[in-house]
Amino acid sequence: MRFHVSGDVDRIDTGDEDNFSMVRLYLEKDVDEAQIERIAYRIASTLSLAKAHLQERFLTNMAYPVSKYFGDIMKKALAKAKEANGENYVKTAY
């Protein structure tokens, strides 16, 4: 399939967008600590199947920008999920 385009094209800079305040407010106002831990473990159970450098990037770029509290919970949940999966399974994952 081909598309023909004409005119000016420009890149949109989204570097100053706030991608985390809505999540932060949701976690602070709408869910209790037990729910936050369940959310974190559900994310971590899938994330634990990814390579270690991708897990670290998630924590650095997604979890900790929401809040230090959420980042710490995600880090603990990820360690727990990796332990549950077994280290050999994680090493052979995509």
Print the domain residue range for 61. Answer: 30-92
For residue range 19-61, what is the model confidence (pLDDT) as tens digits? 899 999 999 999 999 999 999 999 999 999 999 999 999 999 9
- Say whether pLDDT at 94 is over 50: no
10: in domain: no
CA-CA distance, 52 to 13, in Å (whole number)?
A: 29
Number of domains in the chain: 1
Average pLDDT value for the chain: 87
Residue 4 lies in a domain: no
Q: What percent of the chain has pLDDT over 70?
A: 89
Residue 65 is assigned to a structural domain of this protein: yes
Answer whether residue 15 is part of any domain.
Answer: no
User: Is 34 inside any structural domain?
Assistant: yes
Residue 17 belongs to some domain of the structure: no
- Tell me whether residue 85 is in a domain: yes
Residue 71: CB partners within 8 Å, gap ≥ 6?
Answer: 59, 63, 64
Q: Tell me, yes or no, whether 8 lies in a domain.
A: no
